[in-house]
């Protein structure tokens, strides 16, 4: 039987959110889609999805279209429909508590204030699923974090953002190929 993985990037649908810090999860899905030559053209379970082969494995890429705070609805529905075990779910999301360009794979854990992750934990009834945290840094001064995450990345950050997305995509493929422990050992360090 073919192993199937569900890779979900958290973000908000709509052009106005496309390049915001909160959408780095969507950006990662787009980067992985390019590597797999996959197209996210189908709407299923309130998510835009693309299905592609990766060696002997089947990869489902998903961008929930429910807005960040309701992401768990789409993830739960896709897991059930494709009968994917939790250990084959990878949820990629922005993280205010990590410096920009840092990435961290984790086998489980709490939401840490990330509302899309909170929704996912609520809908799945567990914190025990792999996630990829991608640092976006803290807001400057006294800026409201909610406003900060909805700002576009600065033009000056484009090269570093691209390198971070490449490294994050490498980490996802390492996890699929060799398991989360080896992927964490390789990628959970400051670049």
The secondary element (H helix, E strand) that includes residue 164 is helix 158-178
The secondary element (H helix, E strand) that includes residue 119 is helix 115-124
Q: What is the C-alpha to C-alpha distance for residues 43 and 56, in angstroms, rounded to an integer? A: 25
Say which residues have a Cβ less than 8 Å from residue 30's Cβ, sequence separation at least 6: 9, 40
Core vs surface per residue 65-93: b (16+ CB within 10 A) or e:
bbebebbbbbbbbbbeebebeeebbbbbb
Check 22, 88, 93, 123 and give the catalytic one: 22
Q: What is the C-alpha to C-alpha distance for residues 135 and 123, in angstroms, rounded to an integer? A: 24
Q: Which residues pair with 6 in a beta bridge?
A: 60, 89
The secondary element (H helix, E strand) that includes residue 47 is strand 47-54
- Check if 88 is active-site: no
Q: How far is CA 91 from the centre of its chain?
A: 4
| Active-site amino acid positions | 22
């Amino acid at each position: 039987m073919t192993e199937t993985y569900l890779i979900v990037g958290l973000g908000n649908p709509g052009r106005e959110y496309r390049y915001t810090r909160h959408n780095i999860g969507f950006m990662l899905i787009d980067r992985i889609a390019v590597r797999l030559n996959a197209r996210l053209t189908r709407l299923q379970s309130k998510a835009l999805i693309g299905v592609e082969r990766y060696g002997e494995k089947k990869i489902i890429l998903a961008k929930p279209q429910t807005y960040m705070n309701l992401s768990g609805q789409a993830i739960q529905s896709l897991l059930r429909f494709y009968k994917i075990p939790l250990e084959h779910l990878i949820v990629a999301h922005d993280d205010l508590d990590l410096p920009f360009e840092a990435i961290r794979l984790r086998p489980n854990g709490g939401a840490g204030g990330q509302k899309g992750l909170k929704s996912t934990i609520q809908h799945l009834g567990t914190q025990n699923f792999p996630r990829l945290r991608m640092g976006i840094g803290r807001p400057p001064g006294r800026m409201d974090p909610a406003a900060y995450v909805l700002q576009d990345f600065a033009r000056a950050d484009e090269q570093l953002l691209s390198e971070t997305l490449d490294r994050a995509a490498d980490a996802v493929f390492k996890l699929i190929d060799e398991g989360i422990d080896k992927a964490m050992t390789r990628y959970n360090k400051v670049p």
